[in-house]
Structure 1
Amino acid sequence: METAAEPHRVQILAEVGIANLPTQYVQPPELRPDLCRGGNGGIPVVDLGPSGGDPVPEIACACRDWGSFQVVNHGVPPRLLEEVKAAGSFFFRSPMEAKLRFACDPRSPASEGYGSRMLSKEDGVLDWRDYFDHHTLPESRRNPSRWPDFPGNYRDIVVEYSNNMKNLAQSLLCMISQSLGLPPSYIEEAVGEVYQNITISYYPPCPQPELALGLQSHSDMGSITLLIQDDVGGLEVLKDGEWIEVQPLTDAIVVILADQTEVITNGKYKSAVHRAVVNNHRSRLSVATFYDPSKTRKIYPAHELVTENCPLKYQEVLYGDYVSSWYSKGPDGKRNIDALLIHQ
């Protein structure tokens, strides 16, 4: 049953065929997407395969100029990418009664399970999205009994996907560290024990997509995010004041730098502001893997990257405090990391 504290699932609103968007989903005019515009150049694509050459210089340029890029020939089996998307689609196509067995706590932001509202703010505009959030690492957080058991291999797929995403994230963070002249393990060690969440997001068709967002503009709070999407499209990255569509590429994984990596690199690399737009004719599904520090970890700029020409830019932050602020205030672009800036 839905509770007073939680809105109706977006999927239900879409399936009953409402003609007008409920007011709680209407974005203020300045935040609404211009669905007739948007850059089509796409974000950089980096080939991690043996025939692609040394990827580190390309990663350095992408991290500096974009904070986001796509990787191909990344070593994650294409079969697994399709299986995790298919499992998510199966779940969201299933009867509501079955899905609500796994409902998350609407009073607790980022609680594990099936939900619609991610933030604790009661007065904020809602995203046109339903999701399932899995707590996957460290393994002490991993409790597959809290995940769907339909289709029958759902839980096995999520575990295999979690392990593959961990390996890829570690490899990418090594290359990002190397691109800055740091030891390969530097960022991984700065992050410490990793807390990984995997969120499958479902964006139903929207009756008035020009008024709504599937996911509002924000930068991710942790260290790095790895995302796959279906062929519908809708993910956009902000570059020089323009929203650039991230074109879906077969078997590619989107890499999004998050706020703690910007802090660790002393601003040499920027976390990417991104959002999801929706449409009125096709549903969209994405799978985001968040690779984050533990809440007891203190994050601060690498001493090697603080110089006379590049002075200290960010205050040290306890990651748990950062998370609490993000969920209570709301993301709103990069205002949370901007609050850590040391004004010269």
Structure 2
Amino acid sequence: MEVEGNPIRVQCIVQDGKMVVPPQYVQPPETRAQQNSKKISSSNNCDAPTPPVIDLSNADILSEQLGLACREWGAFHIINHGVPIRLLDDMKTAGRSFFEDCSMDQKLSYSCDTNSPASEGYGSRMLVASNDTVLDWRDYFDHHSLPLSRRNPSRWPNFSPNYREVVAEYSDQMKLLAQRLLGLISESLNLPSSCIEEIVGEFYQNITISYYPPCPQPELTLGLQAHSDMGAITFLIQDDVGGLEILKDGEWIFVNPLSDAIFVILADQTEIITNGKYRSAQHRAITNATNSRISVATFHDPAKTRKIRPLFKPPKYHEVMYEDYVSSWYTKGPEGKRNIDSLLLN
């Protein structure tokens, strides 16, 4: 699906008034969000477990709570995190403004390289072209924000008020939070606070604003297929529509949005470093028929030349160079946690 050399964006499909999902967006029955209602925990299910909410100002029980959340969920909300609530709101507003207030010509002027996965800019495709068996019902803008040598605000949108300034401030705040969280996670394992961060090295940070338009047949699609993140730690904020789900004990759990909270997702390299004591969280995004949705994910990854190995013995995972892990993830596709599972020692 291309128009004048550009892949069609999901937002265009909706704006054209199509009432049937194009076939390349239709998930196979076994991966659809509603394929088995017994395994789906919705936001209306009061008996469903919910990810922990951890107050970072509660020092007395913080280490214990973090350890429990990292072991049992690999994901949790944090409150009293020190990031200005105004900045969280500004980031979501700026993202929505780009997708909904800019013309398609303006947005396409920031298109990413469609032949290269994870390239900076405006796009729709997550994987390499050879692996696009099913497409996600999502458009996105990816910003290369850290290290500073990668940060080039001239490649970012500049249409809504202070967009570039908001993204830069948000990037800086997320870096400080990532350093703090990895320090607290290290301490919860009785390690020096700098331990995990020293293994990860200098953060390679990407900020991805995802836009999920209403879907005429949400039962057939996913906004983002099930996966665990590649890097060390991810922070996510979402608007009040919601659509994030976390896999817990074989069930998909709907993550209700908390406006002042930041959702923390442990990624695969942290699982390797902790030797599986703490697990990366498998997650996905579902779609709906009536409302568009915005989320902002901030990824903190090692440099591609960094070698990642377990801290504890006996090791359960092979050592891996991060560049090789990234290449496998984008070429083979995520499919849950198969990439990290392939590193398990017999």
Aligned residues: 336
Equivalent AA in structure 1 for residue 274 of structure 2: T
Partner of 2:85: 78
State, as a whole percentage, how many aligned pairs show the same letter: 65
Distance 1:98 1:5 in 2: 16
Query: Residues 336 and 254 from structure 1, CA distance in 2 versus in 1: closer, same or farther, beyond 3 angstroms?
Result: same
Q: Secondary structure at the match of 1:55?
A: helix
Question: Displaced runs of 4+ in structure 1, greater than 4 A?
Answer: 1-6
Equivalent AA in structure 2 for residue 16 of structure 1: D
8 Å Cα contact 2:115/2:129 also seen in 1? no
Q: Displacement of 1:38 after TM fit?
A: 1.5
Q: Secondary structure at the match of 1:169?
A: helix
Equivalent AA in structure 1 for residue 105 of structure 2: E
Partner of 1:339: 342
CA deviation vs aligned residue, 1:248-282 (integer Å, no higher than 9, x gap) = 01211000000000000000000000000010000
Distance 1:7 1:208 in 2: 21
CA deviation vs aligned residue, 1:217-247 (integer Å, no higher than 9, x gap) = 0000000000000000110000000000111
Structure 2: any 5+ residue segments left out of the alignment? 43-47
Query: Residues 287 and 242 from structure 1, CA distance in 2 versus in 1: closer, same or farther, beyond 3 angstroms?
Result: same
Q: Secondary structure at the match of 1:193?
A: coil
Partner of 1:13: 13
Partner of 1:185: 194
- TM-score of the two chains, using structure 1 as the length reference: 0.95
Residues 80-229 of structure 1: pairs in structure 2 closer than 5 A? 80-93=87-100, 94-122=102-130, 123-229=132-238
Q: Displacement of 1:157 after TM fit?
A: 0.3
Query: Residues 317 and 255 from structure 1, CA distance in 2 versus in 1: closer, same or farther, beyond 3 angstroms?
Result: same
Distance 1:5 1:253 in 2: 38
2:290 aligned with 1:287:
no
CA deviation vs aligned residue, 1:182-223 (integer Å, no higher than 9, x gap) = 110000000011100000000000010000000000000000
Q: Displacement of 1:72 after TM fit?
A: 0.5
Q: Secondary structure at the match of 2:41?
A: coil
Distance 1:159 1:2 in 2: 32
2:276 aligned with 1:267:
yes
Partner of 1:24: 24
Q: Displacement of 1:54 after TM fit?
A: 3.2
Distance 1:121 1:339 in 2: 23
CA deviation vs aligned residue, 1:280-318 (integer Å, no higher than 9, x gap) = 00000000000000000000001xx21xxxx21000000
Partner of 1:249: 258
Distance 1:178 1:91 in 2: 40
- TM-score of the two chains, using structure 2 as the length reference: 0.94
Equivalent AA in structure 2 for residue 327 of structure 1: Y
Distance 1:66 1:129 in 2: 25
8 Å Cα contact 1:194/1:292 also seen in 2? yes
Partner of 1:64: 71
Equivalent AA in structure 1 for residue 118 of structure 2: A
2:57 aligned with 1:54:
no
Structure 1: any 5+ residue segments left out of the alignment? none
Equivalent AA in structure 1 for residue 88 of structure 2: L
Distance 1:110 1:144 in 2: 17
Distance 2:302 2:139 in 1: 25
Q: Displacement of 1:41 after TM fit?
A: 2.6
Equivalent AA in structure 2 for residue 325 of structure 1: S
